[in-house]
């Protein structure tokens, strides 16, 4: 049975008093038995929480009582097990780290394109389509014609944009005019900020997929979809496919890269210890430590108790 409701949420909105919001928000979550991580910054709120349906809905109602968050949207998923062990409300400079000052998505983001209109946009001649996610995410699925910036973190994207704006680059002007650009990401937050960054660089025709890949996979029939592969997600599902159904990937608990069935057949794969992506990057001593950790995880599962040291998908 699916006992726990998970809610992923974010909103870019000016919150100059974000630090004052920390304690009341944490108290609301704890009073409802809700766990997870929420980030507060001057530019807005971001995070994922889980708990009983009543508890999660109570926290969402608490947030929406703030007029600035009244239109806060969230995505829901259900899980058989609680995906988090603690509740944290953190104060940050940014809710998603780009590392560029004076980029304000609440004021500067590109034009939202609904999933039903996305395919028509992709057919536009000369459109530059950019996947703003990290390379390990892109590796398991993307839109066919998308450019992969091959970043290891979102904060590397501005430098890639600067390079591609030079003559011969994907973002170089054509006949003195910047190209039309469309950007996408998992749930919308990274492409919303990256389109704001592009607009700050002088790009006018900038679009992003409203609701991200997840909304597209939920909305578009598979036979009309231009998505290929699966979509990495930062929860216990690891990946999803069309219809947002759980995919075929698992997570390496050592390096946190997604693993295909073929990866798991490799002699370099050891549950909780190593995979083909990280086996050569860790020492024998580290691997032994991971084996002990995996043993503790299995003991905890046998006893049906939460192993506090278990690493969560997408955790910091």
- Give the active site residues: 185
The total of other beta-carbon atoms located within 10 Å of residue 159's CB is: 12
Environment class of residue 304 by beta-carbon count within 10 Å: exposed (0-12), middle (13-18) or buried (19+)?
Answer: exposed
SS3 90: strand
H/E stretch holding 195: helix 189-200
Distance from C-alpha of 193 to C-alpha of 179, rounded to nearest angstrom = 18
The residue count of the chain comes to: 316
Which of 121, 201, 115 shows the shortest CA–CA distance to 160? 201
How far apart CA 108 and CA 121 sit, in angstroms, is 20
Which of 111, 131, 123, 137 minimizes the C-alpha distance to 224? Answer: 123
Question: d(Cα 49, Cα 7) in Å, to the nearest integer?
Answer: 5
């Amino acid at each position: 049975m699916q006992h726990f409701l998970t809610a992923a949420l974010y909103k870019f909105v000016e919150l100059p008093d974000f630090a004052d919001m920390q304690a009341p928000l944490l108290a609301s979550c704890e009073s409802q038995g809700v766990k997870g991580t929420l980030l507060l910054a001057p530019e807005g709120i971001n995070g994922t929480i889980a708990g009983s349906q009543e508890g999660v809905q109570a926290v969402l109602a608490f947030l929406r009582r703030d007029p600035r968050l009244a239109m806060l949207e969230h995505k829901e998923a259900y899980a058989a097990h609680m995906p988090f062990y603690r509740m944290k409300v953190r104060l940050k400079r940014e809710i998603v780290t780009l590392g560029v000052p004076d980029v304000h998505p609440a004021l500067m983001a590109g034009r939202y394109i609904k999933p039903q209109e996305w395919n028509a946009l992709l057919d536009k001649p000369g459109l530059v389509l950019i996947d703003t996610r990290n390379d390990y995410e892109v590796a398991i699925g993307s839109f066919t014609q998308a450019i992969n910036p091959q970043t290891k973190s979102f904060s590397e994207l501005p430098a890639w944009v600067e390079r591609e704006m030079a003559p011969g680059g994907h973002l170089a002007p054509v006949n003195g005019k910047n190209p039309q650009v469309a950007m996408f990401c998992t749930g919308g937050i990274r492409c919303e900020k990256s389109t704001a960054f592009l607009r700050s660089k002088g790009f006018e025709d900038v679009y992003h997929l409203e609701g991200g890949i997840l909304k597209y996979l939920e909305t578009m029939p598979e036979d009309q979809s231009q998505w290929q592969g699966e979509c990495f997600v930062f929860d216990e599902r690891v990946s999803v496919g069309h219809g947002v159904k759980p995919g075929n990937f698992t997570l390496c608990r050592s390096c946190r890269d997604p693993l295909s069935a073929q990866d798991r057949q490799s002699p370099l794969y050891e549950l909780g210890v190593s995979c083909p992506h990280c086996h050569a990057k860790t020492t024998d001593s580290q691997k032994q430590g991971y084996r002990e950790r995996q043993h503790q995880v299995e003991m905890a599962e046998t006893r049906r108790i939460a192993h506090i040291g278990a690493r969560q998908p997408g955790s910091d």
